[in-house]
């Protein structure tokens, strides 16, 4: 850690997270902070950058502080921006190989480079509670099952891949659904165990391109359905994404690939 230079000021990297075959992933901007910055300034920067999430990472002792902002609000957990942050620290800043630990609003999260070239991170497992489908107010059409997934998530299971891709969702109507992250999922899909779409209008995101934190709910659902602790998941957005999950008792390891699109200096 002592060899990592973080004294040159605020730098940023645009990273595409969860890329894969015919999948461009979800852009996140990772900002390395040299000093503390006010919440108002962090929100302004995230608004200017305009991606679904901006990650602000700052070295604190032997670890890192990590926060995530959409263009409109700070969020408690963001998977793809965490993956992007691990990628930046490992590939752009040369942080020594090993476990990276982040202090976040979701608790202490960890990430690492995996032997196969992917990046892995541990996210908190969501515990699923059945809900009456009426909570969706018909916004996702006919669904097979609906679950409360943690404090802020709703997981809705639709019939099949064609039905999932054909959903025409009104973001305004989703404000009536009791959750800030609404995951529509089905078993199967092109070269996948599970395919998902994710909507988050309360967070300023009509539809998210790729959502690593959705694996906190999808992995337990898939394991309960099939008994398999691992899943390969595709997100059927315009950009597309590929995620791999492995379920543990208290967390989900989520893995994927990332690439740096560009880097620069923040002059704010």
pLDDT value of residue 268: 61
Q: Does 138 reside within a domain?
A: yes
Entry pTM:
0.92
DSSP states along 196-244: EEEEEGGGTEEEES--GGGHHHHHHHHHHHHS-SEEEEEE-SSS-EEEE
pLDDT value of residue 8: 44
Q: Each residue's pLDDT tens digit in the chain (268 positions)?
A: 444 444 445 899 999 999 998 899 999 999 999 888 999 999 999 999 999 999 999 999 888 999 999 999 999 999 999 999 999 999 999 888 789 999 999 999 999 999 888 999 999 999 999 999 999 988 998 898 999 998 889 999 999 999 999 998 888 888 888 889 999 999 999 999 999 999 998 888 889 999 999 999 999 999 999 999 999 999 999 999 999 999 999 999 999 999 999 999 987 6
How many Cα neighbours within 13 Å face the side chain of 159? 6
Residues 261 and 197 in one domain: no
pLDDT value of residue 248: 97
pLDDT value of residue 36: 87
Residues 261 and 187 in one domain: no
Enumerate the active-site residues: 53
CA angle, residues 7, 39, 8, in degrees to nearest 5: 10
Specify the 3-state DSSP secondary structure of 27: strand
Q: Does 1 reside within a domain?
A: no
Largest separation between any pair of C-alpha atoms in the chain: 55
Residues 167 and 221 in one domain: yes
Question: 2 CB contacts (<8 Å, ≥6 apart)?
Answer: none
Residues 115 and 138 in one domain: no
Rounded Cα gap, residues 168 and 159, in angstroms = 15
Q: Does 2 reside within a domain?
A: no
Residues 73 and 135 in one domain: no
pLDDT value of residue 106: 93
> In DSSP terms, which residues pair with 101 in a beta bridge?
110
Query: CA of 1: how far to CAs of 42, 58, 114, 121, 253, in Å?
Result: 25, 13, 19, 19, 24
Residues 117 and 132 in one domain: no
Q: Does 153 reside within a domain?
A: yes
Domain range for 201 is: 128-247
The enclosing domain of 207 has a CATH number of 3.10.310.10
Count of the separate structural domains present in the chain: 2
Rounded Cα gap, residues 193 and 69, in angstroms = 30
Q: Does 6 reside within a domain?
A: no
């Amino acid at each position: 850690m002592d060899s990592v230079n973080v004294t040159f000021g605020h730098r940023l990297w645009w990273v595409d997270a969860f890329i894969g075959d015919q999948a461009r992933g979800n852009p996140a901007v990772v900002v390395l902070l040299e000093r503390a910055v006010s919440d108002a300034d962090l929100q302004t920067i995230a608004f200017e950058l305009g991606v679904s999430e901006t990650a602000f990472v700052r070295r604190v002792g032997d670890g890192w502080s990590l926060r995530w902002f959409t263009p409109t609000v700070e969020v408690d957990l963001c998977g793809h921006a965490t993956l992007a942050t691990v990628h930046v620290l490992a590939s752009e800043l040369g942080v020594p190989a090993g476990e990276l630990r982040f202090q976040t609003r979701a608790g202490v999260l960890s990430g690492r480079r995996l032997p196969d070239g992917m990046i892995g991170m541990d996210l908190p497992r969501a515990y699923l509670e059945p809900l009456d489908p009426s909570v969706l107010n018909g916004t996702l059409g006919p669904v097979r099952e609906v679950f409360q997934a943690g404090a802020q998530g709703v997981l809705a299971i639709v019939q099949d891949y064609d039905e999932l891709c054909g959903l025409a969702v009104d973001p305004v109507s989703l404000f009536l659904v009791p959750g800030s992250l609404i995951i529509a999922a089905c078993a199967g899909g092109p070269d996948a165990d599970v395919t998902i779409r994710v909507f988050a209008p309360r967070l300023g995101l009509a539809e998210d391109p790729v959502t690593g934190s959705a694996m906190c709910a999808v992995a337990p659902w898939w394991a309960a359905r099939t008994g398999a602790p691992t899943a390969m998941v595709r997100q059927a957005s315009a950009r597309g994404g590929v995620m791999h999950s492995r379920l543990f008792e208290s967390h989900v390891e989520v893995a994927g690939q990332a690439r740096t699109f560009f880097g620069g200096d923040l002059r704010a």
